[in-house]
Amino acid sequence: MPIATVNPANGETLKTYEAMGAEEIERRLQLAEATFRTYRTSAFAERARLMHRAADLLDEDQQDIGRIMTTEMGKPVKQARAEAAKCAKSMRWYADHAEELLADEQPAAADVKDSGGSRALVRYRPLGPVLAVMPWNFPLWQVIRFAAPALMAGNVGLLKHASNVPQTALYLEDLFHRAGFPEGAFQTLLVGSGAIEEILRDERVKAATLTGSEPAGRAVASVAGDMVKKTVLELGGSDPYVVMPSADIERAAQIAVTARVQNNGQSCIAAKRFIVHADVFDAFAERFVAGMKALTVGDPLGEETEVGPVASEAGRSDLEELVDDAVESGATVLCGGERPDGPGWFYPPTVLTDITREMRIHREETFGPVATLYRVADLDEAVLLANDTPFGLSSNVWTRDEAEVERFVRDLEAGGVFFNGMTASHPAFPFGGVKRSGYGRELSGHGIREFCNITTVWHGA
Strands 396-398 and 239-243 come out as parallel
Give strand pairing partners of 277: 376
* Cβ-based burial of 233 (10 A; exposed 0-12, middle 13-18, buried ≥19): buried
* Alpha helices (runs of H) in 262-312, residue ranges in sequence order: 281-293
Sign of CA dihedral 223, 227, 228, 233: negative
Three-class SS state of 254: helix
Among candidates 105, 107, 127, 126, which has minimal Cα distance to 117?
A: 107
The H or E element that residue 379 is part of is helix 379-386
Distance of alpha carbon 109 from alpha carbon 286, whole angstroms: 62
Give strand pairing partners of 130: 157, 207
Sign of CA dihedral 402, 404, 405, 409: positive
**Distance set, CA 56 to CA 117, 140, 179 (Å):** 47, 15, 9
- Asked if 220 and 207 touch (Cβ cutoff 8 Å), the reply is no
Catalytic residue, chosen from 87, 268, 335, 452, is 268
* Cβ-based burial of 314 (10 A; exposed 0-12, middle 13-18, buried ≥19): exposed
* Alpha helices (runs of H) in 15-76, residue ranges in sequence order: 22-39, 44-60, 62-73
The H or E element that residue 167 is part of is helix 166-179
Among candidates 295, 288, 279, which has minimal Cα distance to 256?
A: 288
Catalytic residue, chosen from 33, 83, 234, 306, is 234
Q: What are phi and psi of 113, to 5 degrees?
A: -60, -40
Using N-to-C axis directions, what is the helix angle for 379-386 and 402-411, rounded to 10°? 30
Annotated catalytic residue 335: no
Q: Spell out where 299-395 has E strands.
A: 332-335, 350-353, 370-376, 391-392
Annotated catalytic residue 203: no
Distance of alpha carbon 445 from alpha carbon 133, whole angstroms: 21
Three-class SS state of 206: coil
CB atoms < 10 A from the CB of 239, how many? 30
Phi/psi-derived region of residue 295, left when phi > 0, alpha when psi is between -120 and 50, beta in every other case? beta
In angstroms, the first-to-last Cα distance of the chain is 61
Strands 370-376 and 207-211 come out as unpaired
Catalytic residues: 234, 268
